[in-house]
A and B are shown apart, each in its own frame.
Chain A
């Protein structure tokens, strides 16, 4: 089975020792060699010391998920091997630091008690008796090849050659692990050199040092004959297509820039902050040249470049209310947060709903409730996003499933927000936010900009001259009243969180209340009618499906890979990915699901999507596959679980529990 999974590589070490940087160099190398990559990051809510690892899968064909197994484990500390030694695929390689063989399990304080006891039990040895040598011996018995690398020798050599102190160089243990891995895979050294350059940009000295260290690691691996002992290799592939490697945070951020978002607020929170940091780093915005020339002819004031204001606020309440203020002025505005921050934002969400303000909230879910597991994955906020707030008001909730969708759906989120004048919640999760994937292209003009109905100064003048007053909340057939930006001449309007009349003044009149409530809520019906099916859900039909998988969000990656895997075995399955969760695509789903055998796949405890489907359509899945241990669904565990539903061996509810 392992050959179907392509290649898997795992690098681990203490947080703060360059795991992510090392992974990034590795990814750039294999990508430059023509392979598709998928990379997943697992880390503790910690800055220094706790175990962190980065998993990379690569293949000749596009891939979108991980397996909890590896072909190569690249380690420079002992803890990584204690933790991951049993996840090896047959004939896998473990690269380790030869000086650490005597490290005992009892000497690693960062391994939780529960895990320490488990490892100790597995090897039938007390933690103070169980050392790394024994772990490696056991692995070798199972067919794994353990390759000792003398990290210190390499760094000492570099220190002597360059005059850099040994302690300064220890940060380069990561590149030794990376280079040794690539040497095992027999990758052309020059590919690695280029990847180092790309990763470190214009930091010349760092590039020199990393290159030197890599060279010595390559030499060591080759001189010891390791690469001949390892049966996998990585020949360079011909690849003429343009490819990018992006994660979900970046895709959303670029989507926001493209969508014309010009005001972003945030309060620091994992795993959302990277999006805002990216935007701030790109706050000066270029406009397409051909367009800027055109506009400049029309309007002198508009220069070729724009900008986005990125505000770090005092809390999440300020984040959403500030963004809402900017939206009132006419900017496309948004904020970005995770569950705990979204909890704080709820009063602001209600106000935006009440006052029909287009504001976009990116909600990156993480393990909850409360602080939960800040750096781990979960899809536990679906019901919360749909229902957040007291009283009833319309909002649109959408959930892209991968990097590409994250980009396009971000633009759509702003379109929906402005067209229907309501808050839009764009839901992702830690898995999608932090995982990188090779993508082929981004078509910037696939989604057009739709700003809805906006009255400008001249139209308002005509209205005024006709003796009519502009009414911000004018009753209309589809519930949408023409919008005016605060500051537009020839008009004024009022907003209030109280129930209000058409002008926006407070009212408690029961008749106006009814009309205003119905006007607001009817916008959801309008949206339901207007938004095309392909934006509401993805349906991947099969000719003779054994079962239909229904899911949402980032599970898309492992599900698509699973479909391919099953196809290789001659098994076909259907897949429905619900992308708009509110207003819920009830009719569409009923049409697709009625009479089908289906399995609901979600990364939460209570199968929230299945609940929504039942609530809206009356239909109930035959099987549930859920996961809530903070780790994303892996391809291998999903394969087993779905296959059991096909063969009807599965219990109604399966809980997935893999992941370190």
Chain B
């Protein structure tokens, strides 16, 4: 409101005060805002420099972060200063500040207000007040009325600015080379080294054969590459799962049908051949499903026949056995596969006529895949039928020739039958390798899937594989009494005492030699630590810790006592004792002992239960254990294939057998 009778000096003073007030307010608010904003910008730069956003996937290069940080630091103070500067400030406020500074007792403010009143409406005293104010104008001091002192908090702003500059200067020297910065961090270790070793051992054991179908050979090589990349952490979980799935799909397309039917036919063939004593070995091999062994036995029998080593009665028994086998081999079991395929085709046509819903489409796709599998089954059955028909012809020829007196013709028929069986054996071996491959792929996929974080435990741990699953496996191995997985071999303790006891529970080391890692004492109490997530598969016996397999979802409490690790490497120091059994100088290095040979007694070796009993303590090594393991694993596979086992439990059974698989003897 401009005064009608302005007092020029007062008006000028008021204008000056108002500008100073705007400036002071702008400075004050800018400093107040600048402290936090500059500090925030500096922290942002520092966080970018330290790459703190990497764990959450936020990565910003310093070059991009600097403008943002400067904006965060400087824009808010500028905006605040502008807002404060252009805030409305009345002239009356300025006049009152002038009064306050000059101690003029509201003369200026009153005069400013009265001057705004029209002259004709002013009272005499109002006019007098204006005149009185004009007498005191000289005392006015805009500088004191609106002082521009140092805003509070300026020191904090200066410190924050220093921090901002320091953080901004970090970018050039501390910035890593672009190539290094762009290098992705290696993915975490998806499988424990023990698991990888198990898969590689199985692959190596199975090997690649020349007569394997291309799909199997290619899948085997691809699986080897994948395992190698997993070991070198060159593939992450998602990519690994995708590759396993692709491998499984491509493998299934070329995979032959199940050979169970063929094994059943061979077993029946073996029963029919069992009538002749000379064919008993071949019959036994056929009953056990080993066509190759049966072929070898049959070929040997043909050589014996050609050499005239068989008498006539034996030849007659051979002829009858071959006739029975030939008659039975003509059965048409492959018709079941044809019927199953036809039934599946009818089901598929019916499903295709129904309304198309997402669930229906999924079901239809499933039926299509099943039909494809049945077609392959049928083709396989037909191929087997052709092989059996050829075998049948050869056996009839052999039987007919055995009726004659010519041993040479008799041996030809047997030789051809042996050749047929050999081919069937090769086919059977291929089928078994294919099934093993399929099982391995399924197991690998299941293992990869279960390596995902559970209950907040990540797959951290890198090369040590010390994630949750790895820890569970390690505990399992400890309880089972085997060598701790992933820990390595611990050197034995230095020898102590009388030379026959070095290391922990040592087996008797040499005098003065470094302690050998003992095989480890038996677990005292390995039965603790079970909860709902555990399944006891095989109780320990004779002091060995119980073999406990953990199911996911629960952390078992650690059993008290339990098994222990067993080092096999030499200890770091020399023993301090000596062998009391030595007769000469026990401290002599070069000695002349009398060697003597002690002949052991030949026996059948330890029983099956004895082998199982000490297997865990010995670390799953030894020929006996390998044989028992093969039998048990084969039996478990048969049961898994034959019985109705929940799919989830198949994994655990196979996993268990993988963990207790035979190991090679450590050097």
Instruction: Please indicate whether A and B come from the same complex rather than being unrelated chains.
Output: no
A residues with CB within 8 A of B? none
